[in-house]
């Protein structure tokens, strides 16, 4: 479970309403770090939003499986809604819930209502950093595997994290360097900054991120590890 006590759930989309005590139907009282909670923080860091009303948390993704995982980890009963965005009318899935205690806790660890411009360092315990990083990768990152066109039978492997804020990626890089002794490189890509780990570093990093077969994750990214060749 993500928390010591059972989660807040909302009936019929009515956010923040108190319900009768029982499984998954009361506010969290005390928050403590767990692998699932760290993963959720990674998702909120990338694709989440803290509303300006200081109580609601919004999570939006184009991947319905990720929304369902988010919902399951937090034991929410809220409805999943859809919306379109941009001139291409891309479909996105969304879930929103209200929890003042959780909102304030997220502020305490370094997230803000305007995190795109302000996000930098976060207060993530080392013990749960790679659970957090798995959520970060699922929300705004990707694993790229392909065969090198120049060198036959040579496979390229890159693990890439994205952010609009360069200082946030510098922080990610510093923590992975301290914990694993590996270095990535940061560059500005298409509208966002990219922290990239090449093959050698990825072979050290990815087993730490996917250390548990039962840990929540986006399966379509995890299965890419089956395509990695070990020479």
Q: Which carries the bigger pLDDT value, residue 152 or residue 56?
A: 56
What average pLDDT score do residues 162-179 get? Answer: 97
Strands 90-98 and 56-61: antiparallel
The predicted structure's pLDDT at residue 78:
93
Residue from 2, 8, 14, 35 nearest 213 by CA:
35
Residue from 158, 155, 180, 159 nearest 231 by CA:
155
Q: What is the pLDDT of residues 37-57, one digit of tens each?
A: 999 999 999 999 999 999 999
- Domains by residue range for the chain, with CATH: 135-227 (3.10.28.10)
Lowest mean pLDDT among 30-34, 124-128, 158-162, 222-226: 30-34
Distance from C-alpha of 136 to C-alpha of 161, rounded to nearest angstrom? 7
Q: What is the pLDDT of residues 50-85, one digit of tens each?
A: 999 999 999 999 999 999 999 999 989 999 999 887
Residues in the chain: 231
- Listed in sequence order, the DSSP H helices in the chain are 35-47, 64-73, 100-108, 115-118, 129-140, 166-180, 199-209, 219-222
> What count of other Cβ atoms lies within 10 Å of the Cβ of residue 2?
22
Residue from 94, 102, 88, 120 nearest 56 by CA:
102
pTM metric for this prediction:
0.86
Q: What is the pLDDT of residues 112-140, one digit of tens each?
A: 998 887 899 999 999 999 999 999 999 99
Residue 145 pLDDT > 90: yes
Contacts of 124 (CB under 8 A, 6+ apart): 38, 41, 109, 132, 175
Asked if 134 and 81 touch (Cβ cutoff 8 Å), the reply is no
In this structure, the dihedral spanned by the alpha carbons of residues 71, 38, 197 and 120, taken in order and rounded to 10 degrees, is: 110
> What is the Cα gyration radius of the chain?
18
The predicted structure's pLDDT at residue 175:
98
């Amino acid at each position: 479970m993500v928390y010591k006590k059972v989660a807040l759930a909302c009936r019929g989309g009515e956010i923040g309403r108190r319900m009768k005590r029982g499984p998954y139907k009361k506010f969290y009282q005390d928050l403590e770090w767990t692998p699932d909670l760290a993963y959720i923080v990674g998702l909120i860091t990338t694709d989440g939003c803290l509303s300006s009303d200081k109580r609601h948390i919004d999570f939006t993704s184009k991947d319905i499986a990720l929304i369902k995982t988010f919902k399951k980890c937090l034991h929410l009963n809220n409805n999943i809604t859809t919306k379109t965005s941009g001139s291409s009318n891309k479909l996105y899935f969304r879930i929103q819930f209200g929890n003042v205690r959780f909102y304030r806790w997220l502020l305490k660890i370094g997230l803000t209502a305007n995190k795109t411009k302000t996000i930098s360092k976060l207060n993530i315990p080392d013990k749960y950093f790679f659970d957090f990083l798995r959520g970060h990768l699922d929300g705004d990152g990707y694993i790229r595997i392909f065969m090198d066109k120049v060198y036959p039978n040579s496979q390229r492997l890159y693990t890439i994290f994205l952010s609009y804020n360069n200082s946030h990626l510098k922080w990610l890089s510093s923590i992975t360097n301290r914990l694993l002794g590996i270095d990535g490189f940061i560059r500005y890509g298409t509208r966002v900054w990219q922290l990239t780990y090449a093959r050698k570093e990825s072979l050290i990093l990815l087993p730490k991120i996917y250390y548990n077969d039962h840990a929540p994750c986006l399966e379509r990214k995890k299965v890419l590890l089956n395509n990695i060749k070990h020479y």
